[in-house]
Structure 1
Amino acid sequence: MPKVNVYNMQGEIVEEMELSEEIFGVEINEHVVYEVVKNQLANRRQGTQSAKTRAEVRGGGRKPWRQKGTGRARQGSIRSPQWKGGGVVFAPKPRDYSYSVPKKVRRLALKSVLTDKLQNNEMIVVDQLSFDAPKTKEMKKVLANLKADKKALIVMAEKDANVIRSANNIPNIATALVNTINVYDILKYNSFIITKEAVKRVEEVYA
């Protein structure tokens, strides 16, 4: 059964915690992770790109010159794709890029990235994370104590406005709840900071 050190906000080890092997000790499946990340990025696309085909470009109704006898290549319209100001060949049109991935695949991908974070010592478990008031300076101090002040994702069990607002103004630091974590965000950040309570919640939800 995998184990991890639990730190306090001062960066000191206070205990050792056993983790569920079903979530933090699975065989990492890179292809499944790739498929889920590709799906997430596709679902985020707006799909509002648009260009005009030769049928939609204004003008070009008259043949520019007669078919034969000019010595030039035959042309039917000055709005053909080879002309400046002409239409676009296979012009992109607004479309929906989203598609779905099976729930089991998403779960396996999430377990794979959580296992990867643990194996690469990028997962930091904190006994608790709380502030009396929103203080960016205090959050920076905590991140420095945990040696995670570059790019970090902070995961909490419950919404804490003081923690969220303390982290909001720090570049490359993001917060999330257990029910909102996803594969892409976990991979995007160097450090995965999670409270002890949130670890238990992850094991309950994703087991």
Structure 2
Amino acid sequence: MAVKTSGWRGSEELWLEAAYQLLIEQGVEAVKVMPLAKRVGLSRTSFYGHFDSREALLAALIARWQDKNTGNMVARTRAFAETIAEAVLNLFDCWLQPGLFDAQLDFAIRNWALGDPALRAVLESTDQDRIAAIRAMFERFGYAPAEAEVRAFTVYYTQIGYVSMMVVEPPELRLPRMPYYVQTFTGTAASDSELARFVSRHGMTLQDLRPDQG
């Protein structure tokens, strides 16, 4: 609960975080000034010290989604990798670290876009930007443009399927599947050293990945 002091109107981030929580919990229709004010323990007037309108707040939520989810996805496709398998594992970090890619926020934005044509257009453009980044990653490792595009579709649509179906898998279940996903998406296998570096970023070892080989 917010600690109120005389004249304190909260911060822009406080209001934005409260709006984010309402969005993922109840959908965009719940993101209104009075419920937000009640949630943060401040007056309705305090909201307008940070945002001109509800629409400005909604625009900030969309910007947060674009900056975090799309920005991090694109960055991971451009991260250093010696092979396409390693590049795909770099991208997989997004699916395992909510700090890089917020699946709940992506789901909420997609639901919101169903009833908002303007946001739908933004979402469609954003999806194309993400696919283009993955396609460029494959092309960087010598895949022909047509093949790179189909492989990019396969990678991206698989993950968006996880998001849309609200699939939640613990790391100990999902991580052992990653080598098979790499093989499926790229046509090549990740090396032991590549897999070891990957799982170490997620608090596991290569042995954890292959418990049946112990």
Please tell me the TM-score bracket, short chain as reference.
under 0.3
Which structure exhibits the higher relative contact order, with contacts defined as CA atoms closer than 8 Å and separated by 6 or more residues?
1
Which structure is higher in helix share? 2
Between structure 1 and structure 2, the one with the greater Rg is 1
Which structure is higher in strand share? 1
TM-score by length of 1: 0.26
TM-score by length of 2: 0.25
